[in-house]
Chains A and B, each alone.
Chain A
């Protein structure tokens, strides 16, 4: 039985943290309506022109779309691969397990700049493939695999494999048991891993800047725009929209979840 302590210390701390996390974002929201080109107080008056300007800045919209697509696809792949690897690490004791674990943790250790340049050399000078969103996506998968692995492995370690074995005893194949037992049970961890991977990919700059072709991702576009500070409020407006969209998605997902578990 869980106690709902909405007014306890923990609750207070939680909401304080939420405030801390959202305050800068709320500031962005405020500035997106500010009638001035610089991000400073005092405020200069209300305007919606940044939003309308943003909608006609085709480069920005395209970059945002690209980031979403690359993020979703690369996170899906990374989640799939990382989960599989996590299952292998946790459930089996094989030769080279420690080595594999160490190697897969390495992408977290190397600065993204280095991975970016290394991959650029690989793509252009070794394989001679054109740079594109695909090359960026593959790079994102590489850095997200360890993240997914760690998150899912931490979860998998917590429950023994009895259930899987039971399912197999009842006639399911090994892979069936994974699909029907392991994955659903570790579902929250998968979601957490996916979200983390998506966030990492969506925000990734240092590495992406090197392996990107003619289609920009959002962070690359924003960074390159910083040379023109008069364009910055447009970016702020986009940030506000992303926030609003995220909130909507969350609320929607929560509704879905409530419906789903009303059985």
Chain B
């Protein structure tokens, strides 16, 4: 019975926060999707018009799909790049690993906007990349890479790598080294030991890192707006636009709910096969 009171103490502050400052406002938000307008007399009218409007709009649906696919690629790339680095830090650098990890984190402290802007400088028409290529004799016909979905991917991967490295680092760190020794003793080569011991044990960290990037990236809008060009628009730009430009909060709320459903469904499916607790590495 002590356990119950301990649990209560441990989770109640977070629970209170989450309920009052998160669930309740979100509930209010969800209710907004049924209103006719954001402010004034219209906001008192109940309607399903926005649901009808959205369900008929195939362009928006396709955009949602494209955004999810782009986020998937960003997350995958970020993992592929961050994993070796985290591995190197945990297994090869001894005591200075926390320091070296922080070295990777520090760039994230500079304003996100400035870092994206500096990528525009690099990728743009007269930027570093273009002038370098000109110098070695290769004349690009127009702007390279920028104003395209690829630019969005590169920039987002750049932004997210520090954040992906962290959970992978944490997961790798807690692997019991004696397991690896045991594997070596049993005749495993280094690569095999990696595949059969390290990788599976670090999987929770990988999944955590993946989700950590994937989920917010689906709703990303700043980078697509700055470097995405006409084809790099993502679903988050739509939501932003409806809330902050069109004042169409009902439609914006509805779109957010749609995005939420898109993300939760695969999570739920994954949850059928893998226990949610396994994902968190428990």
Contact = CB atoms under 8 A, between A and B. Distances in A.
B208 A154 contact: yes
Interface string A82-100: 1011011110101001101
A250 B102 contact: yes
Contacts of B264: 109
Chain A CB count within 10 A is highest, among B89, B112, B114, for B114
Contact of A121 (B25, B93, B239, B277): B25
Interface stretch (B44-52, B55-63, B166-174): B166-174
A114 B252 contact: yes
A208 B159 CA distance: 20
Nearest to A121: B28
Contacts of B3: 92, 94
A207 B218 CA distance: 16
B7 interface: yes
Given A17-B161, A192-B169, A150 B215 contact: no
Between B81, B93, B119, the greatest number of chain A beta carbons within 10 A of the residue's beta carbon is seen for: B93
Nearest to B219: A111
Contact of B118 (A17, A39, A109, A223): A39
Contacts of A154: 167, 170-171, 174, 204-205, 208, 280-281
Contact of B17 (A20, A142, A195): A142
B23 A108 contact: no
A39 B155 CA distance: 17
B183 interface: no
Contact of A199 (B109, B127, B260): B109
Contacts of A22: 107
A227 interface: no
A111 B256 contact: yes
Contacts of B215: 108-109
Given A109-B264, A250-B102, A239 B114 contact: yes
Interface in A214-263: 218-219, 222-223, 226, 235-236, 239, 242-243, 246-247, 250, 253-254, 257, 261
A242 B106 CA distance: 10
A166 interface: no
A2 B93 contact: yes
A6 to B, nearest CB: 9
Contacts of B194: none
Q: Is the interface of A mostly helix, strand, loop or mixed?
A: helix
Contacts of B91: 2
Interface residues of B: mostly helix, strand, loop or mixed?
Answer: helix
A198 B222 CA distance: 20
A72 interface: no
Contacts of A121: 25, 28-29
B144 to A, nearest CB: 14
Q: Which interface class (under 10, 10 to 19, 20 to 34, 35 or more) fits A? A: 35 or more
A22 B103 CA distance: 10
A102 interface: yes
Interface string A20-41: 1111110110010000000111
B193 interface: no
B84 interface: yes
Interface in B62-117: 81, 84-85, 87-89, 91-96, 98-115, 117
B280 A157 contact: yes
Interface string B243-277: 11000010011001001100110000000000011
A140 to B, nearest CB: 11
Contacts of A104: 14, 18
A115 B25 contact: yes
B108 A155 contact: no
Nearest to B29: A118
A151 B170 contact: yes
Given A40-B121, A117-B29, A195 B114 contact: no
A8 B92 contact: yes
B28 A118 contact: yes
B224 interface: no
Nearest to A203: B112
A13 B85 contact: yes
Interface of A: 2-5, 8, 10-11, 13-14, 17-18, 20-25, 27-28, 31, 39-41, 80-82, 84-85, 87-90, 92, 94, 97-98, 100-104, 106-115, 117-119, 121-122, 126, 138-139, 141-142, 145, 147, 149-151, 153-155, 157-159, 174, 188-189, 191-192, 195-196, 198-199, 202-203, 205-206, 218-219, 222-223, 226, 235-236, 239, 242-243, 246-247, 250, 253-254, 257, 261
The 7 nearest A-B residue pairs measured at CB: A158-B174, A111-B219, A118-B25, A10-B88, A24-B118, A88-B10, A154-B281
9 contacts: A21-B158, A28-B110, A28-B114, A41-B121, A109-B263, A149-B14, A151-B166, A188-B170, A242-B109
Given A113-B244, A117-B249, 8 more contacts: A2-B94, A81-B17, A122-B24, A147-B212, A154-B208, A154-B281, A188-B170, A188-B173
